[in-house]
Chains A and B, each alone.
Chain A
Amino acid sequence: MKKSLIYILSIIFFIVLCSQVKAEVAGNCANCHTMHNSQDGLDMATYGGTSGENPCLTRGDCIGCHAYDISGTVNVVDIGGSLVPQVWHSAATDPAINLAAGNFKYIATAADDDTGHSVADVDEEGNASMFPPPGDQHTTGITATNFTCAGKYGCHGDRSVSGGIESIKGAHHTNDNTIDGNSVGTSYRFLKGVLGLENPDTAWRNVDETDHNEYKGATSPGTSSLTSPVNGTMSGFCAECHGYYHGSGTDETGGTGSPWIRHPTDFSLPSSGEYTNYTTYSIVAPVARVTLPETPSGVVTPTGATDDIVMCLSCHGAHATNFYKLMRWEYDSTSLETALEGCNVCHTSKN
């Protein structure tokens, strides 16, 4: 009897342990934190070439850890067993090896400013002409100099909290087996309030039609607030800063159907005409889902229903891409066929 109890408790402990390992950041505390920013007389908070103490005793700021080695060629850095996805790296085989959101290296030089979100942490020369954010419905106050990764003037973390690290405090240690959007840690990619399925096969990347993230969508856009994405959708999140490109007011998308006056998002592909040919998930022009699948799906059913939702990320990368206007394909190519590559995924008769 006692042996049986021990056996059962062991199984339960194993399951709980496994789930925690999967959900939270792994590795020794010292991989990410330093108590005194000093060891043997040397600074410890130096990740990514940063220096000085950071909130939460971290050894780097957002870029310090997630752009750990911008000249490196890996998209995920292993720091003592802690796997850190790299938003800025120099892998030679890009863009295939980039994370799903892209690679900030494309905006690190002046010539490439229009290919990504110009966060001040990366965009070394600034790009004031793109601020405030286009379609800034909610008056974000974001400028070329305060635009950052997380917090009030960023995307990740709690956007009602000032300070990048402060806004994301604790999220890396949250059990996120269930993405419910109720906290930063349980939101998709720490985008507070956003739902989604983080790719369980090849973490942080979209690889092919069955190996990719799944994004939350809705069948009508609604209106987001400054800090809360309507319907928990990815597009709703973009609308916190670019609201006029997403809502349903007459000054926004102009309603809920054709004729649209701006390209619709959070809207189901029509069940007729050229759209019916989009049946296999495309990582060039991906769709979102009203109901997130338990595993990434390669199927799209353009029935005007739930698994075929047009979203901002259908066309754009989130961080930066090597294409004009953060597009997922070479939209400004001198080859018309190449320029329309992504358009033709949905607009299948316009090839």
Chain B
Amino acid sequence: MNNMKTIFLCLVFLMFLVGGVADAGTYLNSAHGTQNDAITGVKRLSAYTDGHCAHCHEQHASIGGDEPSPDLPAGPDDYLLFSDNHTSQTVNLCFDCHRAVGGYQGGIVNRSYSYRAGGWTGDTLDDILEAFGPPTSTSSHRLDDISTFINGKWGHTANSNPCTACHNPHAAQGDPANLPNSAKTTSTTRGWPVTLPSKHGSLVATDILWGDGSGEKMSYYSSYYQAPYRSGSNSAYEPDGSTTTTDGTNLTDYVTFCLDCHGLALTSTTLGRSTKIIDWDASGDYHGKKDGGGGKEDPYAATRNYVLACTDCHEPHGSPNYRYLIRKEVNGGTTNFSGDTRAAWDSLCDRCHTSKLTSYCTGADSNTLCSVCHNHGSNF
């Protein structure tokens, strides 16, 4: 009987606990909104608690009769923001805080995907501004191109900040919270930083963040997902260093996420052409659902149709590598994708294909670039 009472009391306690968590809304659970008091949210002005609207939005562009800093250029800004929303690849409201040095919040460190998921702690890139701009990053998502693309789509306008194509600033979470300068670990609570681009602005609870639902994982996208190794390891796997979870149940379905845009031919001012249409279905690329007969190197040694996530090879923001946002660390080792040379391509492809699939790649044409035959859309 006492056990029953104990169980009942525990259930009541649990109900209140869960209820309390549920009270916090989308914003209060976001990184900008303190992730439910777990972290320091946005914090620009001393007058307000962290996470407060006023750190980003100035209701009158005036406090006590004066425009708070920054006030150059002087005057109010779009969306009541404290500065210009978006100007160029390196001048953007988000970068005013998301920079390791000189930001309005005393410097915010945000590491690369190779660092955070890949565990490559040798990466010196440590903030978002760097990720998007030279000299650190030579290959990155072009913000102006994104602005052009999203204008008129999914509730965006010509005034929309291109960062909001992927991130909802009122919902995006730290992954994990409060550990932006560390590799992800299985011992921390994961967060969900992105919103499916086509669900921008939706207030449906399941639409607000992408990756938090069970149907929004790589394991749901394909039962053939295999997590790559972490840097220098043959036992720990991306994205959180787990030694047991390798099936994508701990990874956002970045294929569906990225294909919201990259399922179309996009204008790329960097490439001077349209991007390739990415087809990850069974009739598309071998790295997708098209059956290529299996892999060769660990952890892709079994004979099965592996399906990759975009982030297995690409940085989401930008990379010091030559082009295509290729990661500096892939499947446990570093890459040196420094130009359109065979050696550069090999540094990437060898991470999973050290023994080439055909003699063509290693014979007389050994200097032929891998990408001549193997590229998105080539079906080869």
Give A residues with C-beta under 8 Å from B.
114, 129-130, 134-135, 245, 251, 254, 258-263, 273-274, 315, 324-325, 331-337, 339-340, 343-344, 349-351
Task: Give Cα A114–Cα B63 distance, bound, in whole angstroms.
Answer: 10
Please tell me which one of the listed residues A129, A135, A337, A350 contacts residue B60 in the complex, with CB atoms under 8 A apart: A135
Any chain A CB within 8 A of the CB of B1? no
Whole-angstrom distance between the Cβ of A253 and the nearest chain B Cβ: 8
B28, A263: Cβ atoms closer than 8 Å? no
Distance of A151 Cα from B193 Cα, bound (Å):
55
Given contacts A129-B65, A332-B48, contact A263 B60 (CB under 8 A): yes
* Residues of the B chain whose Cβ atoms lie less than 8 Å from the Cβ of A344: 25
Cα–Cα, bound, A259→B34 (Å) = 26
- Find A263's partner among B59, B77, B170 (CB 8 Å cutoff): B59
Instruction: Please state if B76 and A261 are interface contacts (CB–CB under 8 Å).
Output: yes
Which residue from A332, A336, A343 sits with its C-beta under 8 Å from B41?
A336
Q: Of all chain A residues, which has the CB nearest B76? A: A261
Q: How far is the CA of A343 from the CA of B51 in the complex (A)?
A: 13
The answer to whether B76 and A254 have CB atoms under 8 Å apart is: yes
Does A339 contact B52, Cβ atoms closer than 8 Å? yes
Contact pick for A261, options B33, B49, B78, CB 8 Å? B78
Interchain nearest-CB distance for B314 vs A (Å): 31
- CB contacts (< 8 Å) of A324 on chain B: these are 47
| B27 and A351 contacting across the interface, CB-CB below 8 Å | yes
Expressed in whole angstroms, the minimum distance between the Cβ of A304 and any Cβ of chain B is 16
Complex Cα–Cα for A324 and B77 (A): 23
**5 smallest beta-carbon distances between A and B, as pairs:** A351-B25, A261-B76, A259-B78, A263-B59, A134-B65
Contact B79 A259 (CB under 8 A): yes
A58 to B189, CA, bound (A): 69
For this complex, 14 residue pairs linking A to B, each with C-beta atoms less than 8 Å apart, are A129-B64, A134-B60, A261-B80, A262-B60, A325-B63, A334-B49, A335-B49, A336-B28, A336-B37, A337-B24, A349-B26, A349-B27, A351-B26, A351-B28
Contact status B61-A261, CB under 8 Å: yes
Q: Tell me, yes or no, whether B159 is within 8 Å of chain A by CB.
A: yes
User: How far is B27's CA from A351's CA once the two chains are assembled, in angstroms?
Assistant: 5
B61 touches A262 (CB 8 A): yes
* B25 x A350 contact (CB < 8 A): yes
Contact among B34, B51, B62 for A134, CB-based, below 8 A: B62
A349 with B64, Cβ < 8 A, contacts A262-B80, A274-B203, A332-B47 known:
no
Are A349's CB and B25's CB within 8 A? yes
Which residues of chain A have C-beta atoms less than 8 A from B68's C-beta? none
- Given A254-B78, A336-B51, 19 further pairs, Cβ under 8 A: A114-B64, A135-B60, A254-B76, A261-B80, A262-B60, A263-B80, A274-B203, A332-B49, A335-B49, A336-B33, A336-B37, A336-B41, A337-B28, A339-B49, A339-B52, A340-B52, A350-B25, A351-B26, A351-B28
| Alpha-carbon separation in the docked complex, A340 to B55 (Å) | 12
User: What residues make up the interface of B, taking CB atoms closer than 8 Å to A?
Assistant: 24-28, 33-34, 37, 41, 47-54, 59-65, 75-80, 85, 157, 159, 170, 201, 203
- Assembly CA distance A120 to B238 (angstroms): 66
Q: Contact between A336 and B49 (Cβ–Cβ < 8 Å)?
A: yes
Return chain A residues, CB-CB under 8 Å to B76.
Answer: 254, 261-262
Please indicate the chain A residues that have their CB under 8 angstroms from the CB of B75 in the complex. Answer: 251, 261
Question: Once the chains are docked, how many angstroms separate the CA of A237 from the CA of B170?
Answer: 33
With both beta carbons as reference points, the residue of chain B lying nearest to A251 in the complex is identified as B75
**Does A333 contact B28, Cβ atoms closer than 8 Å?**
no
Set of chain B residues within 8 Å of A251, measured between Cβ atoms: 75
A273 to chain B, nearest CB (A): 6
Do A333 and B49 contact each other (CB < 8 Å), given the known contacts A349-B26, A349-B27, A351-B28?
Answer: yes
Give the CA-CA distance A331 to B64 in the complex, in Å: 15
Q: In angstroms, how far is the closest chain A Cβ from the Cβ of B352?
A: 42
B168 nearest CB neighbor, chain A only: A349
What is the bound-complex CA distance between A332 and B34, given in angstroms?
A: 16
Q: Which residues of B contact A135 (CB under 8 A)?
A: 60, 62
Residues of the B chain whose Cβ atoms lie less than 8 Å from the Cβ of A334:
49
* CA of A135 to CA of B59, assembled, Å: 12
CB–CB B59/A259 < 8 A: no
- Residues of chain A with a CB closer than 8 A to B63's CB: 325
Contact across chains for B52 and A336 when beta carbons are under 8 A apart: yes
Find the B residue at minimum CB distance from A277. B203
Contact residues in A for B170 (Cβ distance below 8 Å): 349-350
Query: Which residue of chain B lies nearest to A351 when distances are taken between CB atoms in the complex?
Result: B25
In angstroms, Cα B61 to Cα A254, docked, is 12
B162 to chain A, nearest CB (A): 14
How distant is B65 from chain A, measured CB to nearest CB, in Å? 4
B47 near A130 with CB under 8 A, answer no
Closest B residue to A325 by beta carbon equals: B63
Query: A200: shortest Cβ distance to chain B, in Å?
Result: 32
Q: How far is A129 from B50 in the complex, measured between Cα atoms in Å?
A: 26
Complex: chain A residue closest to B170, CB-CB: A350
Q: In this complex, what residue of A is CB-closest to B27?
A: A350
B49 — which chain A residues lie within 8 A by C-beta? Answer: 332-336, 339
Are B62 and A350 touching (Cβ within 8 A)?
no
Closest-CB distance, B161 to chain A (whole angstroms):
10
Instruction: For the complex, give the distance between the alpha carbons of A336 and B35 in Å.
Output: 11
CB nearest neighbor in A for B34: A336
Instruction: Provide the bound-state CA to CA distance between A340 and B27, in Å.
Output: 10
Minimum CB–CB distance from B273 to chain A (whole Å) comes to: 32
CA distance A224 to B85 in the complex (A): 30
In the complex, what residues of A have CB within 8 A of residue B27's CB? 340, 349-351
A325 CA to B62 CA, complexed, in Å: 11
B33:A273 contact, CB within 8 angstroms: no
Contact A273 B26 (CB under 8 A): no
- Which residue, of A337, A343, A344, has the highest number of chain B Cβ atoms within 10 A? A337
- Minimum CB–CB distance from B124 to chain A (whole Å) comes to 34
Given known A-B contacts A129-B64, A336-B34, A336-B51, A349 and B78 have beta carbons under 8 A apart: no
For A260, give the chain B residue with the smallest CB separation. B80
B263 CB to closest chain A CB (Å) equals 26
Minimum Cβ distance to chain B for residue A35 (Å)? 45
Contact partners of B48 in chain A: CB under 8 A: 331-332, 339
**Residue of A with least CB distance to B77:** A261
